[in-house]
Structure 1
Amino acid sequence: MASFPQVTVCKHSAIPHLLTPIRDVTTSSVQFAYYASRLMALLAEEAMAMLPAQQVSITTPTGATLPDAVRINTSKVCAVSIIRAGDSLLEAVRKIAPDVHVGKILIQRDESSADKHPVMYYHKFPLGIARMPVILCDPMLATGGSVIMAVNTLLDAGCRAESIIFANVIAAPEGIEAVSSAHPAVRIVTCVIDASLNDNKYIMPGLGDFGDRFYGTEV
Structure 2
Amino acid sequence: MAASTAPTSQTHPAALPPSVFTLPQTAQLEALYTIIRDKTTSRGDFLFYSDRIIRLLVEESLNHLPVIPKIVETPTGATYEGVGFEGKICGVSILRAGEAMEAGLREVCRSVRIGKILIQRDEETALPKLFYSKLPEDIASRYVLLLDPMLATGGSAMKAVEVLQEQGVPEERIIFINLIAAPEGLKRFCGRFPSLRVITGWIDKCLNEKSYIIPGLGDFGERRCVCCACWYSSSPTADLDIVNEESSRVTSIIALADDCHVAFKSLIRHALRQLAAFFLAEHLAKQLSL
Q: After TM superposition, is the score higher than 0.5?
A: yes
Q: Structure 2 residue aligned with 1:10, among 18, 23, 37?
A: 23
The whole-number CA distance in structure 1 between the counterparts of 2:206 and 2:152 is: 9
Structure 2 counterpart SS, 1:105:
strand
Q: CA RMSD in A?
A: 2.0
> Whole-Å Cα distance in 1 between the matches of residues 45 and 223 of structure 2?
10
| Distance across 1 between alignment mates of 2:126 and 2:224 | 22
Distance 2:227 2:68 in 1: 43
Paired residue secondary structure (1:184): coil
1:57 and 2:57 matched: no
Contact 2:16/2:187, CA 8 A, preserved across alignment: no
Q: Which residue of 2 aligns with 1:20?
A: 34
Q: How many residues align?
A: 215
Note closer, same or farther for the CA distance 1:116–1:98 as it changes in structure 2 (3 Å cut): farther
> Which of these residues, 189, 193, 204, is aligned with residue 214 of structure 2?
204
> Under a length normalisation based on structure 2, what TM-score does the superposition of the two structures give?
0.70
2:164 corresponds to 1:154:
yes
The amino acid of 1:182's aligned partner reads R
| Structure 2: distance between partners of 1:30 and 1:119 | 33
Distance 1:108 1:73 in 2: 34
The alpha-carbon deviation at position 35 of structure 1 amounts to 0.5
Verify: 1:87 aligned to 2:99, yes or no.
Answer: yes
SS in structure 2 opposite 1:43? helix
Tell me by how many angstroms 1:64 deviates: 4.0
1:15 shift after superposition: 1.6
Amino acid at match of 1:94: R
What is the CA distance between 1:62 and its match in structure 2? 4.3
> What TM-score, normalized by structure 1, do the two folds share?
0.91
Given that 1:33 and 1:215 are in contact with CA atoms closer than 8 Å, whether structure 2 keeps it comes out as no
SS at structure 1 position matched to 2:136:
coil
Q: Kindly indicate whether the alpha-carbon contact (under 8 Å) linking 1:53 and 1:72 is maintained by their aligned counterparts in 2.
A: yes
Shift of 1:119: 2.7
**Counterpart of 1:176?**
186
Identical aligned residues as a percent? 44
Tell me the equivalent position of 2:173. 163
Contact 1:44 1:89 in 2 (8 A): no
Q: Distance in 2 between matches of 1:89 and 1:213?
A: 14
More displaced, 100-109 or 158-167?
100-109
Distance in 2, matches of 1:62 and 1:16, equals: 42
Judge conservation of contact 1:83–1:105 (CA < 8 Å) in 2: yes
Structure 1 residue runs of 4+, over 3 Å off?
A: 59-64, 216-219
SS at match of 2:16: coil
* Greater C-alpha Rg: 2
Counting helix residues as a fraction of each chain, which structure ranks higher? 2
Higher relative CO (CA 8 A, sep ≥ 6), structure 1 or 2? 1
Shift of 1:197: 0.6
Unmatched 5+ residue regions in structure 2?
1-12, 230-290
Mean Cα deviation higher: 5-14 or 18-27: 5-14
1:136 has 2:146 as partner? yes
